[in-house]
Amino acid sequence: MSRVTRLALGCALLAALSGCGLRPMYAGGSSGVVAQGLAAIDVPAIEGQEGWLVRNALIDRLGQTGSSTAPRYRLDVLLDDQLEGLGLLTDDTIGRERRTLRARYQLVDIASGEILLDATAGSDAGIDVVSSEFATIAAEQTALENLAQQVADRIVTRLSLALRDRS
């Protein structure tokens, strides 16, 4: 393929891409509609250790660290953290566990009290139960920390879509 043909093909692909309806989520950077909306979300305290982890992850992702933006929205979050044994070994001990973290959240407009978004997010992780109780507890804690990050990511993605569609 000649250089001119490749250039023409590249231009044709760019023209086709511009008509596909895709638009950047965070257009405008930190002054864009979505970024400003995310920074205006207040996250009240969430009960429990898992709540503390999820709230901190949400605050990091919403861009509120050091922000002086007055809250326009409130994000109410309820968590359900479950740890269940799955695999039984020949001596009737548990060999595998599953940790599940589910969140039900609502985005509320503070001025009107209107619920703008009511959704759920969740994730789960498998944990090997080993002979060392300390190692098993450490694995359960690490799983909870990772799940909190994943759930926060899913919540912020859904919030971003809702704020983009609202603008």
The domain that holds 62 is classified in CATH as: 3.30.160.150
Answer yes or no: is 18 within a domain: no
| Residue 92, in any domain of the structure | yes
Lowest mean pLDDT among 10-19, 97-106, 108-117, 135-144: 10-19
Q: Could you tell me if residue 4 is inside a domain?
A: no
Q: What is the CA 162 to chain-centroid distance, rounded?
A: 14
**Within-domain flag for 89:** yes
Q: Which helix (H) or strand (E) element contains residue 115?
A: strand 115-128
pLDDT at 148: 97
Residue 139 lies in a domain: yes
What pLDDT is stored for residue 16 in this prediction? 67
On whether residue 20 sits in a domain, the answer given is no
Higher pLDDT, 128 or 10: 128
pLDDT at 64: 66
Domain count, the chain: 1
Tell me how far apart the alpha carbons of residues 95 and 111 are, in angstroms, rounded to a whole number. 51
Weakest-pLDDT range from 42-46, 60-64, 114-118: 60-64
Average the pLDDT over 96-115 and give the result. 94
Q: Return the higher-pLDDT residue of 10 and 150.
A: 150
Name the region of 16 (left: φ>0; alpha: ψ -120 to 50; beta: rest). Answer: alpha
Q: Which domain holds residue 84?
A: 32-166
Contact 145/53 with Cβ under 8 angstroms? Answer: yes
Is residue 62 exposed (0-12), middle (13-18) or buried (19+ Cβ within 10 Å)?
Answer: buried
Q: Is residue 76 part of a domain?
A: yes
- The reply to whether 75 falls in a domain is yes
